[in-house]
Structure 1
Amino acid sequence: MAEWPLPRYIKEFRGFLGLTRYYRRFVANYGSIAGPLTRLTKNHGFDWTEEATRAFEALKKAMTTLPILTLPDFNLPFDIETDASGMGLKAVLSQNGSPSCISVRYLQH
């Protein structure tokens, strides 16, 4: 997540925003942070601005510093959630409903 590059196309951007929306309940003030990015999905064009860059970086930071990420307890079972598309791969390792690790790999074309 921390290394996710700036999106060049709307499809790349929607993949990033979709991932963050999935975990929005864990991010304080998600709506305020993601607001400039959410507005980009409502336009008919993909006009990336400096405000969008600041929001993108702030959201990446918020997603990677979530206080709910827990250390794994190897005495308990893990839940693994994966997702893949033509744009990238995502995996989440969880225990008792709390993510321990979130991994996202953006595929270069």
Structure 2
Amino acid sequence: SLEYLGHMVSSQGVFPEPSKVQAILDWPQPKTITELRGFLGLTGFYRKFIKGYATIALPLTSLLRKDAFHWNKEAYKHF
């Protein structure tokens, strides 16, 4: 297999690069909108590998609206 643009490509198909998956799993809870945008940017890059990504990420993307950033249980559940 070979690494190409953040993906692993092999005869079995295309998969997310394991180090990027680990980065998502290890990402600290966002404390600012900028940090949340960074997290959503990384996860969004791999959305084709996450079934129902838009639905899963909706509670987090809704926090990006003006004056909406308030981390709560619902946001944590989807993080």
TM-score if structure 1 supplies the norm length?
A: 0.48
Match of 2:49 in 1: 26
The 4+ residue runs of structure 1 with deviation greater than 6 A are none
Report the counterpart of residue 102 of structure 1 in structure 2: none
Unaligned runs of at least 5 residues, structure 1 = 57-109
Q: Percent identity?
A: 48
Larger relative helix fraction: 2
Q: CA deviation at 1:4?
A: 1.0
2:78 corresponds to: 55
Q: Give the paired residue count.
A: 56
Task: Name the aligned partner's letter for residue 55 of structure 1.
Answer: H
Q: Which has the bigger relative contact order, CA under 8 A and spacing at least 6?
A: 1
5 Å matches for 1:86-97?
none
Structure holding more strand per residue: 1
Q: Give the TM-score normalised by the residue count of structure 2.
A: 0.64
Q: Distance in 1 between matches of 2:55 and 2:61?
A: 10
